[in-house]
Structure 1
Amino acid sequence: MNILIGVGIAIAGLGGFVLFLWLLFEWQYKTRQGNLLEFDSGVWQFLTYEPEHYRLELLLTATNHTRNLDVFLVEVNPILSLLSSDNLDEIHSKVQLRSRHPNTGSRNDNYWESYIVNPNQSTGVEIQIDLSGKNLEELKTAWVRVGYTIYGPAGREEKIKHCIIPLQFPDANQRERWRPTPDADVLPIRTHILSAGDNPVEVMQRYVMSHAQAGDIVTIAETPIAIMQGNFYHPSDIKPQWLAKRLCYYFKSTSSLATACGLQSLINESGAWRVAFAFVVGSLAKAIFRVPGVFYMLAGEQARLIDDVTGTLPPYDQFIVLGPKNPQAVVDEIKAGTGLEAAIVDVNDLRRVKVLASTSGVSENLLNQALLMNPAGNAAEQTPIVLIRPNTPT
């Protein structure tokens, strides 16, 4: 009997040791960085900007963020889509791809030669876009989908980097019509299609300062700020998990959380446990105490700010746009760069005004009154900025 007990203890001990080794092995695997190679937002410039000929250069940097693993960048394939207010029949486009590898020559035949990116090192991609023909002035945006394939310890992965390049720029000095409200005049200001390459302060300096005077307040919608921060994702880049696939059915169809990808984007920001807790408590509060909105109070600020696909202007209607990061820092930078009081707002056609952040000299009551009728609009106005001029100095 003692022998059997001893054998049982030995087997249990061996099993426990094997289980420990397996858990340790799995933990090590889960903490591996895998193929952690990512592209930045890129920088672009016009090389030629003539009535019937545009030539643009887009430079991207791919960085291997792993600590000690090589990652191969084996394929790069840019695809161009043009957005215009007219047809594209007489517009011809050509896309040219070149590598910018350190210490390696570049090919001119659009073939991407596989390249090993060492840990914490980078390589470059140059894309030149040539547009020619009539009606180029009707072009609004170039959407470049940079498909790329990486290969490494985690296998072969195909990804896409989306680059939005504006092609049409409103005249910043064009006189616009102010609109009266009871306590202030408001001026919606048109801009180009903003992108991750834009800076909020520079946008204000370009489009607002020729209209502004001391005492004015400049407001900008939350979605363009998030876009300029690069805080938007294509649904193909979001992998809905168990929780998102099930909970999304409980939201109204008009909610940005009513799709698995939309809800997963919130989970990615707030965490699965927080979203699950908010859902349970919010459901009980609504069912038992008839108190709506508890979920949004508990699930984090992004719960109210996420715009699912179709929620904004093309081409961002194809993306999930989150709320802006650190909005208070943004308005402080705008004030420092322009001298104007500033606010980031969320306004809709239902007469709802939410102030996400504002500088110290801004009256929220004045903002609520001045923006109540949503002068920026919710359609294709392309006027994300509203300049407010109080009737009496603030």
Structure 2
Amino acid sequence: MILVLGIIALILLLALLAFEWQYRRHPGNALVLTPGHWDLPVYEPHRYRLVGRLTFQNLTRRLEIMLPEVTAEATLLSGDSLEGITCTVQVTPNHPDAPPRPDGYWYGYIVKVGKTTQIEVSLDIRGKDLSQLKSVWVRVHYVTYGPQGRIPKVRHIIVPLKFPDPEESHRWRPTPKADVLPIRTHLLTHLDDPISVVKRYVLPHAQPGDVVTIGETPIAIMQDRFRHPTDVQPGWLARRLCYYFLPTSSLATACGMQTLVDIVGPWRVAGAFLVGAIAKKVLKKPGVFYQLAGEQARLIDDVTGTLPPYDQFIVLGPDNPQQVVDQIQQELGISAAIVDVNDLRAVKVLAASPDVPPSLLEEALITNPAGNADEQTPIVLIRPTFT
């Protein structure tokens, strides 16, 4: 009798595990919103009109996801006071099979399996002088309703509003083996791409033999590799491991640590922590955790780690940086490197063109000519002066 009960219990347990495994394989409310394409059809001294066309995509294979609510809000970032400046935000549905309501009411919409629908987000900005506006941080709030329940989500879009003149004069700075030129850009966002940015801001000043270097954080931002803490759900492991890191580490918070867990997996993080702790305590060898946890462990920047409005986000390291520099050299004919530089005279080269000596990058960038504050010079052009 006991044996029979044990077999029944085992069967029930296996059935429960199979049921849970099957549940975890389901995508849930897999409805995503793209950053979209943004235009500035009106760009006048007293009025800006910004229009974005964004797409909802149902990524599931057999589930319908409902959109009962969609709203948007915006925050202006400026070099001066915002007094007297107004910003009105409007969301208009562009469904393929239903017109928008004239009263602006958002009616619940079903996004079919594998289908898409679009929205138009328009901002009307008015004021006496808008020349000091640098960017606008748009937050599209939407609710997905489906098998996973009612899930509120937010899509963050940052759009630049101020664009430096690429031809404006710059000041070269001498170093022992090269001259360096910090290059100011607009606030780079996930609406940009490295090729276009280098072509616009660097090529007017470049000569044969020059090397363009770009910070790793701007590259990651252009790749849309940043997350708001409200989108991160710290798990059991992240909540506990974060206490063992120095307060200055980006892994010393539950959200920062969870971001790493989401990238490389909990088993790798846990294993790296255990081996790293033993290596540090027994062998007196620090830094093993970062070697085992992967490159992203060193590159994650927690909130406050970069300039506004990205100071509100966790910024990851760039994806496949070598491919980025290879593409720059192939398409634009200029050698390139992606680097991580700080004010502590530390230069880390993530990727570089084959013809770029690492020693040149280290000596030219050791004083951090790009800066880490609000200089907004994420690109440094290096011109070797030795033969």
State the TM-score bracket (shorter-chain normalisation). Answer: over 0.9
Q: Is the 8 A contact 1:66 1:119 kept in 2?
A: yes
Q: Which residue of 2 aligns with 1:287?
A: 281
2:377 aligned partner, one-letter code: T
Q: Which residue of 1 aligns with 2:207?
A: 213
Displaced runs of 4 or more, over 6 A: none
SS of equivalent residue, structure 2 residue 151: strand
1:303 aligns with 2:297: yes
Q: Which residue of 1 aligns with 2:141?
A: 147
List per-residue Cα deviations over 1:49-101 (Å, max 9, x = no partner): 11111101011111111110100011111011000111111112111110011
1:196 aligns with 2:196: no
SS of equivalent residue, structure 1 residue 137: coil
| 1:1-394 equivalent positions in 2, closer than 5 A | 7-392=1-386
Q: CA deviation at 1:9?
A: 3.8
Aligned partners of 2:101 and 2:300: how far apart in 1? 42
List per-residue Cα deviations over 1:294-352 (Å, max 9, x = no partner): 11111110011000000001000000000000001101111122210000000001111
Q: Is the 8 A contact 1:56 1:128 kept in 2?
A: yes
SS of equivalent residue, structure 2 residue 61: coil
2:127 aligned partner, one-letter code: G
Q: Is the 8 A contact 1:97 1:111 kept in 2?
A: no
| Equivalent pairs, count | 387
Aligned partners of 2:66 and 2:329: how far apart in 1? 44
SS of equivalent residue, structure 2 residue 29: coil
SS of equivalent residue, structure 2 residue 360: helix
Q: CA deviation at 1:108?
A: 4.0
Identity across aligned pairs (percent)? 57
Q: Is the 8 A contact 1:97 1:108 kept in 2?
A: no
Range with greater deviation from structure 2 (198-207 or 24-33): 24-33
2:275 aligned partner, one-letter code: V
Q: Which residue of 2 aligns with 1:3?
A: none
Q: TM-score, normalised by structure 1?
A: 0.96
Aligned partners of 2:14 and 2:142: how far apart in 1? 39
Range with greater deviation from structure 2 (202-211 or 281-290): 281-290
1:322 aligned partner, one-letter code: L
Query: Larger radius of gyration, structure 1 or 2?
Result: 1
Aligned partners of 2:17 and 2:304: how far apart in 1? 44
- Which structure 1 segments of 5+ residues have no match? 1-6
- Which structure 2 segments of 5+ residues have no match? none
Aligned partners of 1:220 and 1:283: how far apart in 2? 34
Note the aligned Cα RMSD (angstroms): 1.1
2:227 aligned partner, one-letter code: Y
SS of equivalent residue, structure 2 residue 131: helix
Q: TM-score, normalised by structure 2?
A: 0.98
SS of equivalent residue, structure 1 residue 373: coil
Distance 1:280-1:17 versus aligned 2 partners, 3 A rule: closer
List per-residue Cα deviations over 1:166-217 (Å, max 9, x = no partner): 0011111001000000100000000011111101000001101111111100
List per-residue Cα deviations over 1:151-176 (Å, max 9, x = no partner): 00111000100000000111110010
Aligned partners of 2:254 and 2:11: how far apart in 1? 40
Aligned partners of 1:322 and 1:15: how far apart in 2? 45
Q: Is the 8 A contact 1:251 1:257 kept in 2?
A: yes
